Amino acid sequence: MREMIEYDYAIVRVVPRAHRAEFLNVGVIVHARRALRLVMRTEIDEDRLRVFDPDMNIPLLRSTLAAWERVACGGAAAGPIGLLTPSERFHWFTAPRSAALQTSPVHPGRCDDLESTIEELMAEQVGGKKSP
């Protein structure tokens, strides 16, 4: 039997108009502290997003999500935040913010296959496709 992996996750949300409290899930961030893993997956459903905001700057959103994904991967290419530990980067992502890109509250979980769990979370919370 495989060893169980404890993880925390948050949903990545686009909030086009914060004052309306409407959002669209576009990804997940999964942090497995003991496994030293921080993984982000995203997928933008442009048609659904345009229902919330027909004027949404999709190229800017894609660019911002790409920057977040670099931070999740870590390293110097992600700037100073990319040099933090996976746990510190996860907490940076999940800190409350008033911006067009936010995360949900943090949720805990346990699994024996982290990659399959990430794909399941994407399918349940976002719609299932992987990032391009």
Q: What is the pLDDT of residues 105-118, one digit of tens each?
A: 999 999 999 999 99
pTM of the model: 0.89
> Is the CB of residue 67 less than 8 Å from the CB of residue 93?
no
Residues 29 and 93: their CA atoms lie apart, in Å, by: 8
Q: Is the pLDDT of residue 131 over 70?
A: no
What is the longest distance spanned by two Cα atoms in the chain? 50
- Does residue 50 sit in helix, strand or coil? helix
Strands 5-14 and 101-103: antiparallel
Give the dihedral sign, CA 67/44/131/107: positive
The model's pLDDT over 30-88, given as tens digits with 9 standing for 90+, comes to 999 998 899 999 999 999 999 989 999 999 999 999 999 999 999 999 999 999 999 99
